[in-house]
Chains A and B, each alone.
Chain A
């Protein structure tokens, strides 16, 4: 090297530049787990706002307790298990929010607390944490408080007229009325079929916080579909199956006399189909398996609604089908490109 000492420091770093070496691809998409979780949470914003509009301060209290408890439980459990604390990935926030939207507004605040602890600590972390839980954590939390505090959990209030919701009256949900007293009673409360459908569509009815407003849930659901964060396979088959089966078997006057539309817009179906059954971790990932999953969820829901002890079956239907998700994925593996053609070919 003829370089003068003065030039050397300039030349050397170039020659010794350290390069990053890794296996490709060297270009990655912008997607991340955190982005997905926060986007799904954002898609729940319309439903959340509607719950506050209809149920007022008590709804806010339930949501805040769920979120706080979920985040604390996540951090606590990760600390106990000596894992990195990943609150920023949004998964605990989403679980907390989903649980809140599945609780009645008048629930005493120990219910969202207990539900969140069960959801995060037991259903999520004791099964291995994000990606490894078999059952939808929010639904496990809800199932736990439903069977533990059955009376409170099945007592709903009508939408309130003031923010403080002091005047909230306990009342039955449309599905309870339908199951226990029939369509005539339902029409007595909602006056006409058209008004019944309209109230169900906007969410002016008793029910869990975030399940009542069909339009709010659809807004979020369509947003997720457009962003391809979810696909049609589960929500469409789930909702359509409920509608068709309820129409066939749900009527008092024999086959094909049920009100499919009423069933599709009632209970937790919309929220469950768009936001709970589509949970990546606990549902199947092969598209054809998702169709089977959606149809089975729908069939189980109708079975429980019409024949079971509960007026509503979405939660149990999804939880039951969560067990089968890995099996469905295995049984309905995608067909490898050229596998069928490979049979007759000599290698």
Chain B
């Protein structure tokens, strides 16, 4: 694996081309959402151990104050996102579908930062360990939606040396434009964030991958990276799921992450562009992760917009700020239409991984029932992991979970391409989730 193999226009094989629908918001500059009167901050906003609350009911907190302590190595602290008083600690609806522990803060309207935030101008002089500690303390997690704690990705075992860092600005989910706007509006911060990442991992070359349907973002990022010969911006093919880690690594570095393996197995770390910007904020200004870009879009809201919103802001507030629901709004989704989760309660809060809120009108929501598999092979052609979703689906439909496993069920990352193309509307992703859960149950 030579460094020269990086300059390739190759892409992964498979994938689908859903309508982008990004024109609803892609040209709209981000607006800062109102500071919520009340924020619900889940103690678990990441993959890994939930945090332990550090506050009690009635306690006054400042913006940026740590309110949840990391629950282990694979965990990330959470911080107050407004100044005010803690009014409740308990179980609240969460966009992942179940109720989860959360801290509720009533804003005092002052929006005061906690004292003692440390600014650092010569941050690239800091040692990798110091930088990593700052990232970890700031509660930064993967902001593309996976919410994996960032400091864990930055601590690869010794036997897996990293030589490439890729920033993911593909944003292949239809409708979403939060990463797009971030790249246009905060390109310098993203490049600086990438440099901090390169310093932490001692990597000489950093790449930024952007789907070619965002020419203005490619242009701006190229300009921002112009003075940095070690940073290169790539326009990658427009194809879902180009932004999946393994697919992006294939396209940019032409390396194949082993099945069941991680990017570090091929010497690569991938971070979302939003994560890089958050890292810059944390290192340069000492600010923890308390806000993020959120696209509120779809034909189910009256004025689709991009927001900079505090973590803990209820979906309902952002939807109101986007003109409110249309009369025929029928489905509210946290994230994009391919991998996002539909919500039953609009009071769920924005969390660190909420890239968008998509509202679909009734006409765009399919309620068709599914038919028999006609073995047309569209799903086989679409699967970026080269699985046979049709067969896996047939097995799971009949409850043969072990057979599905033999057909590499576990390599499925649930991108939904198979279900998107299926002419019989077969709910493959739903089945895959079921089979994985059933198999896990059997194991325990």
Contacts and interface: CB of A to CB of B under 8 A. Distances in A.
Contacts of B246: 337-338
Indicate the member of B174, B260, B364, B421 with the most A CB atoms within 10 Å: B260
A31 B337 contact: no
A285 B390 contact: yes
A20 B342 contact: yes
A336 B375 contact: no
A342 B266 CA distance: 11
Indicate the member of B261, B344, B374 with the most A CB atoms within 10 Å: B374
Contact of B416 (A25, A35, A335, A339): A25
Contacts of B325: 14, 17
B377 A20 contact: no
B377 A27 contact: no
A336 B367 contact: no
A336 B420 contact: no
Interface residues of A, number: 44
Interface stretch (A128-136, A190-198, A207-215): A128-136
B388 to A, nearest CB: 6
Interface string B364-388: 1111000111111110110111111
A21 B258 contact: no
A8 interface: no
Contacts of B390: 285
A27 B12 contact: no
Given A23-B429, A24-B339, A27-B338, A342 B374 contact: no
Interface in B392-444: 407-408, 411, 416, 419-425, 427, 429-430, 433
B427 to A, nearest CB: 7
Contacts of B383: 334
B423 A25 contact: no
A22 interface: yes
Contacts of A89: 371
Indicate the member of B174, B339, B388, B423 with the most A CB atoms within 10 Å: B423
Contact of B261 (A24, A27, A347): A347
Given A32-B423, A334-B387, A336-B411, A24 B374 contact: no
A29 interface: yes
Contacts of A29: 16, 18, 420-423
B332 interface: yes
Contacts of B165: none
A343 B256 CA distance: 12
Contact of B18 (A27, A341, A342): A27
B391 interface: yes
Given A131-B375, A334-B387, A341 B258 contact: yes
A20 B367 contact: yes
Contacts of A179: none
A130 B258 contact: no
A130 B372 contact: yes
B225 interface: no
B343 interface: yes
A127 B429 CA distance: 27
B261 A28 contact: no
Nearest to B432: A23
Contact of B338 (A25, A329, A336, A343): A25
A335 B383 CA distance: 11
A4 interface: no
B343 A26 contact: no
Interface string A311-323: 0000000000000
B337 A27 contact: yes
Nearest to B338: A25
Given A26-B337, A285-B375, A335 B329 contact: no
A149 interface: no
B250 to A, nearest CB: 8
Nearest to B416: A25
A22 B416 CA distance: 13
Nearest to A14: B325
B174 A27 contact: yes
Contacts of A25: 337-339, 416, 419-420, 429
B340 A24 contact: yes
A110 interface: no
Interface string B303-333: 0000000000000000000000100011111
A33 B386 contact: no
A334 B379 CA distance: 12
Interface in A112-144: 129-132
Nearest to A290: B377
A21 B18 contact: no
A39 to B, nearest CB: 11
Given A25-B419, A26-B340, A29-B16, A341 B256 contact: yes
A66 B408 CA distance: 43
Given A19-B344, A286-B388, A336-B408, A345 B421 contact: no
Contact of B373 (A131, A329, A339, A347): A131
Contacts of A31: 378, 421-423
8 contacts: A21-B343, A24-B338, A25-B419, A27-B19, A31-B421, A285-B377, A334-B387, A341-B266
Interface of B: 12, 16, 18-19, 174, 246, 256-261, 265-266, 325, 329-333, 337-344, 346, 358, 360, 364-367, 371-378, 380-381, 383-388, 390-391, 407-408, 411, 416, 419-425, 427, 429-430, 433
Give 6 nearest A-B pairs by CB, closest first.
A131-B372, A25-B416, A342-B258, A285-B377, A27-B337, A338-B259
Given A24-B340, A28-B425, 6 more contacts: A21-B343, A28-B366, A131-B371, A287-B381, A336-B411, A345-B265
